Amino acid sequence: MTTMKTVMSERSSAPVARLAPFTAPDEPAVAVDDLFDGDLELIVQGPEIRNDYKKIAGSSDAAKTYDTTAT
Amino acid sequence: MLKLRIDPNAVAWRWNGTAYVTPGGRSELAPFTHPLVEQVAATDGTRTAIIVRERAPGGATVSRDLVAVTADELDYITDQARRWPLDYVLIETAPHRPVRLTAGAVRSTPLFLAHQDGILHGSWDMADLQPYAGGLHPKEVTRMLVYRPRYSTDTAFAGIRRLTERATATFGGDLVIRYPEPVLHAAPRALAVGADVLAAFTAAIDMALDARPLDPDATLCHLTGGLDSGSIGIRAARRWPGRINTATLVIIGAGRNQQIRRRAEIRDKVPFGPHDLCLDTRDLPMFAPGCARVRGELVSPYDEPLHQHFVALNRQIAGLGAHTVVTGLGGDEMVAVGSAESAQAARDKREDFDLPWLGPRARAGIEYGDDGIAPPAMAGGITLLAAECVAPPLLQTGLWPVHPFAHQALVELGDRLPFYWRELKQLQRRHLATFGLSEDACNPKARESFAELVEESLMLHGIPLLRRILDEGSPLIEDGFLDPDGLKGMVAALESETYREDTHSKLVEVITLDAAARAFL
């Protein structure tokens, strides 16, 4: 990875400002794991999960776009 | 977010005020003009990088002119481009070298690609690529007909490809699109003692809403009455009281009065903006003779099934002065329940390919539906496809889509939630309840759906269109995707028997695909 520091280490501040529009912003961390207990298990979702096409129990089907009425 | 025409041998770019162009106009790259979209470009004298991207909050106005940089600086720029947290397309060119396009992870809008005679063409609007549609794509048409969609670089038309999230397209003679590594997802976990799930949900919605420099006075929320758009819209209204206007299609059928009543309560109790655009679908069946699809216009088969309705609603939204639309798209996927978790979910997801109108080529293609599909992304495949579905009709009206449920914060929270928070969308229901809304508003008893509109539309306008397919033929029949005898039997059944929603509603895709095939091929 090429960092701004690597590129700019021997240059003045003007070039740094010049590249600022190209620099990705710092993003706030997504800290959801504090909410949970136990080990974090990461998986590779299979096609049937990542292309989940729910039918009756809530659906994004073009013909049946509705929330389930079951509670 | 852009339209392009690139000759890899014509890459001496300059910005002309509206597009990046090369001498003689051999290459052109036109970003979508919108307050939430910007573009930057740099060149080291040999290589050029053009980045079209969604604006991030806090960023200063950027110059679109090409900036002269060193080779090391250009490496830095392209590295940073790939780290952009919102949607982007990075275009890298160099003389006598293939052009390379890389898409961001957040595919707010699609980019379709095609090539002919050594020129790469691209657009968010598939209609622009009609000249390059070479026939029906067997795997993708099969996926669409059996209602088992898969996110991939395939489109319904051979010759037109989809640049999927984080994929890289390389073009120089031929076009190759390479998928990225899979995004890993967490398995559901137990909650820690005292975990405040609803606070976490609100915080995640806020993170998603704050990901872009939204102008509340020019941002409108879909408020359909559904739990997803309600969850997002209500939080947005609380954040920006009196400024967020709303819009919806009003359904017909048993849930209509409930939808109207619930929306009225929500708007009464929550400080939305003064305007509520409601386009009534009563007396507006789908597939009417005057609608764009039936008139034979170039409407992508992926564009909104209720195309004419959303085109009309989008025009009203734009007429109100809004330029950004926030939706609840992706809410279902956030809290999806797996087959292993629930016997009901397993029954719901049971696939039924017993569609009498499927032709031999479609039946044979079913088993290949998962071949060559995209790896797992942050947002689910259905969310990404749905975002693609709504985008072109919005962009055609100058509107930009924002789908908070596709944001990493909400996806990752949803991945981890225990079953009982996802089951039957408890998360959204309990979230709505925190706003003081009634049982009626949070837990509607009647189904609010377009299913009745689909039924009415099929009976009124769908049957004649299906008969047209049988009488005049269709590329779908010629290529073996539709069985005319099976379709004929189904049309007869529609005319003489009770409507069966589960089966008959799937004829919508037959009509949509036929209309697209007639227009594009």
- Ordered by start, the domain boundaries in chain B are 2-178, 197-281+301-345+371-444
The answer to whether B487 and B510 are in contact (CB under 8 A) is yes
Mean pLDDT of successive 10-residue stretches along chain B, which has 521 residues: 97 96 97 97 97 92 92 97 97 97 95 98 98 97 94 98 98 97 95 96 97 98 95 97 98 95 96 98 95 96 93 98 96 82 68 89 96 96 93 97 97 94 92 94 91 95 97 98 97 94 92 97 97
Write the burial class of residue B355 (CB in 10 Å: 0-12 exposed, 13-18 middle, 19+ buried).
buried
CA dist list (Å): B312 to B316, B394, B450, B499? 6, 10, 17, 28
Domain topology for B197-281+301-345+371-444:
Rossmann fold (3.40.50)
Q: From the list A7, A60, A65, which residue is nearest B73 (CB)?
A: A7
Pairwise CB contact (< 8 Å): B76 & A7? yes
Q: How far apart are CA B521 and CA B136, in angstroms?
A: 8
**Best of A8, A22, A34, A42 to disrupt the B interface by mutation (most B CBs within 10 Å)?**
A22
Residue A9 in contact with partner chain B when CB distance is under 8 A: no
Residues of B in contact with A38 (CB under 8 A): 189-190
Residue A14 in contact with partner chain B when CB distance is under 8 A: no
Q: How far apart are CA B52 and CA B58, in angstroms?
A: 17
Pairwise CB contact (< 8 Å): B192 & A4? no
Q: How many A×B Cβ pairs under 8 Å?
A: 203
pLDDT higher than threshold 60 for residue A6:
no
State which residue of chain B sits closest to A54, comparing Cα positions: B349
Residues of B in contact with A25 (CB under 8 A): 56-59, 85
Q: From the list B72, B79, B189, which residue is nearest A36 (CB)?
A: B189
Q: From the list A3, A36, A56, which residue is nearest B190 (CB)?
A: A36
**pLDDT for the residue numbered A14:** 46
Residues of B in contact with A27 (CB under 8 A): 85
pLDDT higher than threshold 70 for residue A67:
no
Bridge partners of B185, per DSSP, are A43
Q: C-alpha angle B384/B303/B54, rounded to 5°?
A: 50
Distance from A5 to chain B by nearest Cα, in Å?
A: 10
Q: Which of B87, B444, B11 is nearest to B260 (CA)?
A: B444
Count how many Cα atoms sit within 13 Å of the Cα of residue B515 in the half-sphere of its side chain: 30
Pairwise CB contact (< 8 Å): A50 & B380? yes
Pairwise CB contact (< 8 Å): A49 & B424? no
Q: From the list A34, A49, A64, which residue is nearest B338 (CB)?
A: A49
Residue A10 in contact with partner chain B when CB distance is under 8 A: no
Question: Percent of chain B beyond pLDDT 90?
Answer: 92
Q: How far apart are CA B324 and CA B307, in angstroms?
A: 19
Helix, coil or strand: residue A61: strand
Pairwise CB contact (< 8 Å): B81 & A60? no
Pairwise CB contact (< 8 Å): B76 & A2? yes
Q: How far apart are CA B405 and CA B187, in angstroms?
A: 18
**pLDDT for the residue numbered A28:** 82
State which residue of chain B sits closest to A65, comparing Cα positions: B449
The answer to whether B466 and B333 are in contact (CB under 8 A) is no
How many DSSP H helices and E strands does chain A contain? 3, 3
Residue A30 in contact with partner chain B when CB distance is under 8 A: yes
Beta strands (DSSP E) in B124-189 are 161-162, 168-171, 175-178, 185-186
**pLDDT for the residue numbered B481:** 98
Q: How far apart are CA B74 and CA B70, in angstroms?
A: 6
Encoding tokens for residue B469? Answer: 């397919």
- Ordered by start, the domain boundaries in chain A are 39-71
Pairwise CB contact (< 8 Å): A1 & B59? no
DSSP structure string for B350-384: ------TTB-HHHHHHGGGTTTTBPPP-SS-HHHH
Helix, coil or strand: residue B351: coil
**Best of A32, A34, A56 to disrupt the B interface by mutation (most B CBs within 10 Å)?**
A32
**pLDDT for the residue numbered A30:** 78
The answer to whether B273 and B246 are in contact (CB under 8 A) is yes
Residue A51 in contact with partner chain B when CB distance is under 8 A: yes
Helix, coil or strand: residue B64: coil
Distance from B351 to chain A by nearest Cα, in Å?
A: 10
pLDDT higher than threshold 80 for residue A71:
no
* Assigned CATH class of B2-178: alpha beta
Tokens 């998603």 sit on residue? B208
Tokens 């639309």 sit on residue? B325
DSSP structure string for B92-113: EE-TTS-EEEEE-S--SS--EE
Encoding tokens for residue B385? Answer: 């496809």
**Best of B91, B197, B348, B504 to disrupt the A interface by mutation (most A CBs within 10 Å)?**
B348
Residue B281 identity (one-letter amino acid): T
**pLDDT for the residue numbered B339:** 66
Residues of B in contact with A71 (CB under 8 A): 424, 429, 443
State which residue of chain A sits closest to B183, comparing Cα positions: A44
The answer to whether B68 and B112 are in contact (CB under 8 A) is no
**Best of A11, A19, A36 to disrupt the B interface by mutation (most B CBs within 10 Å)?**
A36
